[in-house]
Structure 1
């Protein structure tokens, strides 16, 4: 089992922390983002009670009758609202030749509710090509506290993402606010993934979530404690279970940040494994997954400290919105062709 580093952000938040404590945190962060791109964090300003309440509210939504959930069913390509069990295959858009079998696997064993920005969202301000990737939110009428609870959690995750980006800036030798004007209209999304208990064997090759990478800058995950969890793909192609300490968040780098950092940091392929059938109803799992993305018009060009004469930039500049929209459209195209 892979024990990814657990970093305490107290050295960043606590004004009484020493310079040495912060320097140690930055070194640990750079090391793990360059190695697997995965870490756990604690010492955030998000309370465990808030996370637990949000998870319980989400479970109350998924416990409803299928007809009730289907009332807020996502329109294909809109990337908002409810998606039923086995309607997605996260591996279908992967390029790697050694993942060909995963691209042909049955759809994943999870249902999802997807939420976009909750404040000051105006489609009129968006370029036409963004209207599918950044569609307005869809909200259910029940549970009655669902909307306000998810809006509050979204805001907390967006703030935590910005704090992490401040740390990233310090790691890279940049001003602490270097990312600020690139993420002040962040277009991140909150995916609430529900993995029902598995009482019958899955189809051959079928997983809770197939192998994939994330698209954006960073991802923050709050999973419930249940079997059948995260696995990461090692550099030599093996799958390893990831141990997640209770009450912590899992953070990983997305494709856009890997590109932004000129591949100094890595976006690692990962998946969600099936639980053993012996766990029965206890195998039910839920994850709150926040995908952070920059402003849609932010230019993703090589970060200045990540390239130079001895390390030329590998990628051409691209607008963040164009990058994410292309990834999402490719995902749906690959899914329809699967």
Structure 2
């Protein structure tokens, strides 16, 4: 799949695979943008290969993060913080609550860090005063010793990939490549690794590793283990489709803000992480990167792109990105301590 041709195969049903190898050429970028438009108009999900993030870095990120979650509870608790902020979270929240759907808590732990969490206090104070993750300093464990270094390297690499995907998004929408750049020059993006512990006790009725939800922001870049399933995407009203991992790939999906930006032309699709088969006591670890606009970015529906006559939701008014994200996170962690 690395022959400098864009592919959009149906390897995952309605989640296509797009090869980014040819994005260094003008013609390649046009073809990739066309494939992205088809994917985002259809499922809102696609898989990228040929993305340029070194496999060695991905492997080190996975290894160092797995080592952290293998530490004794008392050591992980040293970098625990309140709900929805950086550091270790023993409970990863309840994603269904972000859509006002009642559900038991997700069977997930997490560790999160934010690009803005590395700024100085004065710079972070300029990021607004709402209940938000990106206004706080990151909290880093002392063990593993190279944890912070590897995470910083990974965040930088995936931020670069996300920025180029946004340029391709602009092309896909018939805009200048740099159209979105001033909305992301102070972006509040985050890595929030999900650790799904072994299920030695049966889940509660309706309880999943991650409940059904849509992502909140512009786009998500997800790494998942090659041999650990669980991610499902909703097709139609009630058909859940598995998205298994392709070695060396990322799963990319757009979020609510991107759907709003396009006036519903592109879709933010419901997805979930299901429980393993009973008796399977393996753990699972995924690494999502959430690429978020500047906290004060005004996101307005692009009227030329609005889909006038179908069954998709239509967006009449815009939002301020930080206020939108803050409210979603507040709902997700409602009732947690």
| Residue-by-residue CA offset, 1:28-85 (whole Å, 9 max, x unaligned) | 21111011101100111201111111000000100000011111112135x211111x
**Displacement after TM superposition at 1:284 (Å):** 1.9
Instruction: Tell me the equivalent position of 2:288.
Output: 289
Instruction: Tell me the equivalent position of 2:198.
Output: 197
The CA distance in 2 between the partners of 1:336 and 1:238, in whole Å, is 31
SS for the counterpart of 1:49 is: helix
Instruction: Tell me the equivalent position of 1:11.
Output: 22
Q: 1:8 to 1:73 in 2, by over 3 A?
A: same
The more displaced of 115-124 and 231-240 is 115-124
The more displaced of 246-255 and 218-227 is 218-227
Instruction: Tell me the equivalent position of 1:226.
Output: 227
The CA distance in 2 between the partners of 1:89 and 1:290, in whole Å, is 18
Structure 2 counterparts to residues 228-243 of structure 1, below 5 A: 228-243=229-244
SS for the counterpart of 1:275 is: coil
Q: 1:107 to 1:131 in 2, by over 3 A?
A: closer
Gaps of 5+ in 1: none
1:114 aligns with 2:112: yes
**Displacement after TM superposition at 1:292 (Å):** 0.7
Q: Contact 2:264 / 2:306 at 8 angstroms: preserved in 1? A: no
The CA distance in 2 between the partners of 1:253 and 1:204, in whole Å, is 29
Structure with more of its chain in helix, by fraction = 1
The CA distance in 1 between the partners of 2:157 and 2:133, in whole Å, is 25
The more displaced of 28-37 and 126-135 is 126-135
**Displacement after TM superposition at 1:131 (Å):** 5.1
The CA distance in 2 between the partners of 1:109 and 1:186, in whole Å, is 29
| Residue-by-residue CA offset, 1:268-310 (whole Å, 9 max, x unaligned) | 1111011123443xx3211111011011121111236424999
1:27 aligns with 2:34: yes
CA RMSD in angstroms, aligned pairs only: 2.4
Structure 2 counterparts to residues 263-274 of structure 1, below 5 A: 263-274=264-275
The CA distance in 2 between the partners of 1:2 and 1:45, in whole Å, is 22
Instruction: Tell me the equivalent position of 2:8.
Output: none
Instruction: Tell me the equivalent position of 2:98.
Output: 93
Q: Contact 1:130 / 1:321 at 8 angstroms: preserved in 2? A: no
Instruction: Tell me the equivalent position of 1:46.
Output: 53
Structure 2 counterparts to residues 1-338 of structure 1, below 5 A: 2-3=12-13, 4-13=15-24, 15=25, 19=27, 21-77=28-84, 79-84=85-90, 86=91, 88-95=93-100, 100=101, 103-104=102-103, 106-117=104-115, 118-120=117-119, 122-129=123-130, 132=133, 134-280=135-281, 283-303=282-302, 305-307=304-306, 314-333=315-334, 335=335
Q: Contact 2:215 / 2:256 at 8 angstroms: preserved in 1? A: yes
The CA distance in 2 between the partners of 1:119 and 1:137, in whole Å, is 6
Q: Contact 1:228 / 1:276 at 8 angstroms: preserved in 2? A: no
| Residue-by-residue CA offset, 1:223-261 (whole Å, 9 max, x unaligned) | 112334200111121222113211100000101111111
The CA distance in 2 between the partners of 1:332 and 1:147, in whole Å, is 25
How many positions carry a matched residue from both structures?
A: 320
Gaps of 5+ in 2: 1-10
The CA distance in 1 between the partners of 2:75 and 2:68, in whole Å, is 9
SS for the counterpart of 1:56 is: helix
Q: Contact 2:264 / 2:307 at 8 angstroms: preserved in 1? A: no
Q: TM-score, normalised by structure 1?
A: 0.88
**Displacement after TM superposition at 1:324 (Å):** 1.1
Q: 1:318 to 1:203 in 2, by over 3 A?
A: closer
SS for the counterpart of 1:128 is: coil
Q: TM-score, normalised by structure 2?
A: 0.88
